[in-house]
């Protein structure tokens, strides 16, 4: 919402929440009942008002008490986030003018009312002051928990020494050790979902509400990650019902008013295991030289109307999630694998971008149209690579008219790539290895990931289409969601410059607004060298995170002034928003439609929500891959690996194993040849007596000595390192004494 009330409500719900808050504020401390809200300015049905109130509660702006809803601002009380301290007391953090959560109040343990770390609470001021964070803080008492940080937790069943069961959270950073009920008949180590029960004045406890299974069972790891991140897998019955009423195939009534491209040669290019095909390509030569590229994207918006049941579920999910053995789609399979999948030899509705391009890659013209296509062939990346790079005598007969189109697409790809390269676009090529799974989902190996000519064809064509759509929206002043990638911060670039200097690579002295062609040059300088993968990874980590925003601020890594996401509306909600805006432009109703739906006011919250769901999806995918790799390598304890140092901390070295792209920890206590001191600014450990240095990017040889399945980590030991010396205590303490307490705490949290 424009005033920051709610950050995750779509469309009308967001505006309704804003009106509901205004009504509650006008009612004062007495508040309003739900029936009174229904007749107040907020309007809407009971279900719609309930959703708006849930959003206000999540934002800490309103709460329910004895059947009446009250605006927090009318109570004279405060809201904030709890941070539990070791002794059981807590700090209450509130947001500073700069946007950071900072300690503002002290909460004695007896006044917590069952609140846990991370909860959003409503508090009242007490008369006392306590010291916290180096200053005297006002003391408060929790009146009620508004939003529970951990309403449920995913973890394993463990045994307590004194008897009973306890919950060990899946996320080792969660600072909770809760008594667990309902687990008497479950095996130790079994994963469960547990509801956290707050029992003021007693300590909270957890109660099993769903049994996920033992970690060795097929599919349990996926369930654990889904539940931990709160990613919905099953679709509600109402959503499935809404999908079922859609036709199985588009018909003549759907083709009306569309440009008919069913006579054109259009193909899809995807991975071997892909099940949904939402983008297709066509190409033709222009009479005067150059190319006409067609990028055809499934017209999801034709079937998913804004504000409808399917749309609400798609917004809630934000994105599809892809795991090695399972995909969690944003929309039901009736759409993702049916109506909106561009399967060969079947008519499909699409939204098309046509780009006329000169031989040197200059854009001569852009055109957009609602179309109907019929894919001539479903091609795979490896198939296209083979046809283009290892042609066989029978290819002409096998592929017919498709073959010359693939040849032209490769030529155009090379042109488009050269144009991007000349403007400074950074081309990351970071193989992470394709996980090979058995039939039951168990990882059995890692294959080198190959990014071949077919991947590059699709990539260049999709980038060109995204840029064209963004330019059209901006030039015609059409509000939408854009894909933004900002310039790296000078602080991060300074750290990068220090690291690169060890490899003889120098960055300019002036790092503010550094042009991407400088970093592009770094990647070219290390191409083919042993340190290529490491430096590419570090450059990537130096980058800001890309996100969605109502303002088109450009894409730094692509060196693109205009950029959005248009090419995957079946799996990314922002693309669906962009499709609707482009279709509104084509129909001449963009301005009226935006005004009628309050789009401009809604876009900031939509951008925040979709950026958050994207981050959640990526984190879950990384967690699952890490878990699978650790479980796979657990059977190889005792083996020796080549690796490279990717992180240096007071407690040890993080080393990434070659070929497996997974990090393990070499604890500092195992560096037995010396007492190592941590130099934070230089990102290195230095031997106190002999001066041996371990720093980022060093190549090392390690033995795998253990695998921690609970924390999904590998224990490593440097080859040739003697056992730790007996004198002067533990090297961990020797090094840590010279570091500030904040550095040590950060190390422990990691």
Distance CA 734, CA 468 (A): 58
Enumerate the domain spans of the chain.
11-74, 78-147, 152-214, 237-485+550-621, 490-543, 637-749
Which residue is listed with tokens 């700069």?
Answer: 98
Give the model confidence (pLDDT) of 464-473 as tens digits: 999 999 999 9
Which class does domain 11-74 fall in? mainly alpha
Q: Strands, E, within 508-600: which ranges?
A: 547-549
Q: Is the pLDDT of residue 122 over 60?
A: yes
- Burial (0-12, 13-18, 19+ Cβ within 10 Å), 635: exposed
Give the DSSP H or E segment for 229.
Answer: helix 220-229
What is the mean predicted confidence (pLDDT) over 44-51? 80
Assign domain 637-749 to a CATH class. mainly beta
Cα separation, 305 vs 301, whole angstroms: 6
In angstroms, rounded to a whole number, what is the distance separating the alpha carbons of residues 240 and 303? 14
pLDDT of residue 566: 98
Most confident of 58-67, 332-341, 722-731: 332-341
Structural contact between residues 343 and 301, judged by C-beta atoms closer than 8 angstroms = no
Using the predicted structure, report yes or no on whether residue 591 has a pLDDT greater than 70.
Answer: yes
What does the pLDDT average to over 187-212?
A: 91
Is pLDDT of 59 > 80?
no
Q: Which two tokens mark 499? A: 């690291």
Question: What tokens does 453 get?
Answer: 């000519």
With CA atoms as reference, report the closest residue to 88 among 106, 103, 113, 108.
108
Among left, alpha and beta (phi > 0; psi -120 to 50; other), residue 343 is: beta
Q: Mean per-residue pLDDT for 423-449? A: 75
Closest CA to 375 of 465, 458, 263: 263
Tokens in use for 78? 């405060």
- Asked, colleague to colleague, whether 11-74 and 78-147 share their fold, the answer is no
Percentage of residues in the chain having pLDDT higher than 90: 64
The full DSSP string for 74-140 is: GTT-EEEEEEE-TTS-EEEEEE-TTS-EEEEEEE-GGGSTT--TT-EEEEEEEEEEEEETTEEEEEE
Task: Give the Cα separation of 74 and 364 in Å (integer).
Answer: 59
State yes or no: pLDDT of 739 exceeds 70. Answer: no
Token pair of 342, please?
């561009």
Tokens for 550, please give them. 């109502």
Residue 743: per-residue pLDDT: 30
Q: Which two tokens stand for residue 8?
A: 């995750």
Provide the pLDDT for residue 41.
60
Q: Is 90 exceeded by the pLDDT of residue 182? A: yes
Contacts (Cβ under 8 Å, ≥6 apart) of 727: none
pLDDT for the residue numbered 730: 39
User: Which of 523, 582, 572, 508 is closest to 546 using CA atoms?
Assistant: 572
Please give the average per-residue pLDDT across 615-625, as a whole number: 94
Percentage, residues of the chain above pLDDT 70: 91
- Residue 15 has a pLDDT of 75
Return the higher-pLDDT residue of 100 and 110.
110
Mean pLDDT, rounded, of the chain:
88
Q: 78-147 architecture in CATH? A: Beta Barrel (2.40)
Q: Pick from 280, 299, 278: which is nearest to 351 by CA? A: 299
Dihedral through CA 491, CA 496, CA 499, CA 501, nearest 10? -100
CA distance 337 to 340: 7
CA pair distance 25, 44, nearest whole angstrom: 18
The C-alpha atoms of residue 574 and residue 558 are separated, in whole angstroms, by 19
Distance CA 345, CA 524 (A): 43
Please report the sign of the dihedral spanned by the C-alpha atoms of residue 215, residue 218, residue 220, residue 222: positive
pLDDT digits (tens, 9 = 90+) for 360-387: 999 999 999 999 999 999 999 999 999 9
How many angstroms separate the CA atoms of 372 and 701, rounded?
57
pLDDT band at residue 324 under the 50/70/90 scheme = confident
Closest CA to 637 of 701, 707, 700: 707
Of the listed ranges 416-425, 452-461, 523-532, 567-576, the least confidently predicted one is 523-532
Per-residue pLDDT, 724: 63
C-alpha separations of 216 from 223, 660, 688 in Å: 12, 21, 44
Q: How far apart are CA 430 and CA 426, in angstroms?
A: 12
CA neighbor of 429 nearest in space, from 386, 459, 406? 459
What H or E segment, with its residue span, contains residue 142? strand 135-147
For 200-218, what is each residue's pLDDT tens digit? 777 889 999 999 999 989 8
**Are the C-beta atoms of 660 and 629 separated by less than 8 Å?**
yes
**What gap in Å lies between CA 222 and CA 631, rounded to an integer?**
14
- pLDDT band with cut points at 50, 70 and 90 for residue 705: very high
* DSSP output for 714-739: EEEEETTPPPPPSTTS-HHHHHHTTS
Q: Which of 52-61, 556-565, 594-603, 650-659 shows the lowest per-residue confidence on average (mean pLDDT)?
A: 52-61
Q: What is the mean pLDDT of residues 688-715?
A: 90
What pLDDT shows up at residue 335?
A: 96
**CA-based nearest residue to 245, from 195, 308, 329, 198:** 308
Residue 750 has pLDDT above 80, yes or no: no
The pLDDT value given to residue 745: 31
Alpha-carbon distance of 488 to 539, in angstroms, equals 10
Q: Which CATH number fits domain 152-214: 3.40.50, 2.30.30, 3.30.499, 2.40.50?
A: 2.40.50
């Amino acid at each position: 919402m424009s005033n920051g009330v709610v950050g995750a409500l779509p469309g009308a719900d967001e505006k309704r929440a804003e009106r509901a808050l205004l009504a509650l504020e006008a009612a004062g401390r007495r508040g309003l009942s739900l029936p009174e809200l229904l007749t107040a300015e907020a309007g809407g049905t009971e279900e719609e008002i309930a959703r708006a109130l849930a959003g206000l509660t999540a934002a800490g702006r309103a709460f329910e008490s004895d059947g009446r809803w009250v605006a927090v601002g009318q109570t004279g009380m405060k809201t904030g986030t709890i941070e539990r301290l070791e002794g059981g007391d807590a700090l209450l953090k509130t947001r500073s003018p700069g946007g950071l959560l900072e300690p503002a109040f002290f909460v004695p343990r007896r006044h917590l009312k069952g609140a846990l770390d991370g909860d959003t609470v409503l508090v009242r001021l007490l008369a006392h002051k306590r010291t916290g964070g180096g200053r005297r803080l006002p003391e408060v008492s929790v009146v009620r928990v508004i939003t529970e940080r951990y309403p449920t937790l995913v973890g394993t069943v463990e045994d307590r020494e004194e008897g009973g069961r306890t919950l060990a959270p899946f996320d080792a950073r969660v600072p909770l050790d809760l008594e667990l009920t309902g687990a008497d008949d479950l095996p130790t180590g079994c994963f469960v979902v547990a509801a956290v029960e707050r029992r003021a004045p007693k300590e909270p406890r957890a109660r099993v509400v769903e049994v996920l299974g033992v970690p060795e069972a097929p599919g349990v790891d996926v369930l654990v990650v889904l539940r931990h991140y709160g990613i919905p897998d099953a679709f509600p019955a109402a959503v499935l019902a809404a999908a079922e009423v859609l036709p199985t195939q588009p018909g003549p009534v759907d083709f009306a008013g569309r440009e008919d491209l069913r006579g054109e040669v259009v193909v899809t290019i995807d991975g071997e295991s892909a099940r949904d095909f939402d983008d297709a390509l066509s190409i033709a030569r222009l009479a005067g030289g150059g190319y006409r590229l067609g990028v055809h994207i499934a017209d999801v918006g034709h079937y998913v109307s804004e504000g409808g049941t399917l749309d609400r579920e798609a917004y809630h999910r934000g994105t599809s999630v892809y795991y090695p053995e399972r995909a969690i789609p944003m929309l039901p399979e009736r759409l993702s694998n049916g109506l909106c999948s561009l399967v060969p030899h079947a008519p499909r509705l699409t939204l098309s971008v046509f780009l006329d391009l000169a031989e040197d890659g200059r854009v001569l013209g852009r055109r957009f149209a609602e179309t109907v296509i019929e894919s001539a062939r479903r091609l795979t990346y490896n198939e296209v690579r083979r046809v283009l790079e290892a042609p066989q005598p029978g290819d002409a007969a096998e592929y017919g008219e498709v073959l010359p189109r693939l040849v032209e697409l490769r030529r155009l790809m090379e042109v488009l790539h050269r144009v991007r390269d000349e403007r400074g676009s950074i081309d990351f090529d970071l193989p992470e290895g394709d996980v090979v799974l058995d039939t039951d989902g168990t990882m059995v190996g890692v294959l080198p990931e190959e990014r071949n000519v077919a991947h590059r064809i699709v990539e260049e064509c999709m980038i060109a289409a995204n840029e064209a759509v963004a330019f059209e929206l901006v030039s015609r002043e059409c509000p939408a969601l854009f894909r933004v990638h900002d310039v790296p911060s000078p602080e991060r670039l300074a750290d990068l410059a220090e690291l690169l200097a060890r490899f003889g690579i120098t960055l300019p002295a002036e790092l503010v607004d550094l042009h991407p062609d400088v970093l592009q040059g770094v990647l070219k300088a290390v191409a083919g060298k042993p340190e290529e993968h490491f430096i590419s990874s570090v450059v990537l980590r130096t980058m800001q995170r890309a996100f969605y925003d109502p303002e088109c601020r450009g894409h730094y890594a692509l060196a693109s002034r205009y950029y959005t996401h248009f090419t995957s509306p079946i799996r990314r909600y922002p693309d669906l928003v962009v499709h609707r805006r482009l279709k509104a432009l084509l129909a001449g109703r963009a301005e009226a439609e935006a005004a009628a739906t309050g789009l401009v006011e809604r876009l900031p919250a939509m951008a925040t929500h979709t950026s958050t769901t994207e981050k959640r999806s990526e984190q879950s995918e990384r967690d699952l891959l890490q878990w699978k790799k650790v479980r796979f390598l657990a059977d190889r304890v005792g083996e020796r690996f080549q690796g490279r140092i990717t992180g240096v901390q007071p407690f040890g070295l993080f080393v990434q194993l070659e070929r497996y792209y997974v990090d393990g920890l070499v604890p500092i206590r195992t560096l037995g040849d010396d007492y190592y001191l941590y130099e934070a600014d230089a990102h290195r450990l230095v031997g106190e007596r002999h001066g041996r240095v371990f720093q980022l990017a060093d190549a090392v040889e390690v033995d795998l000595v253990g695998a921690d399945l609970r924390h999904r980590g590998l224990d490593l030991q440097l080859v040739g390192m003697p056992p730790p010396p007996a004198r002067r205590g533990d090297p961990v303490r020797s090094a840590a004494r010279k570091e500030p307490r904040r550095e040590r705490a950060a190390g422990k949290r990691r």
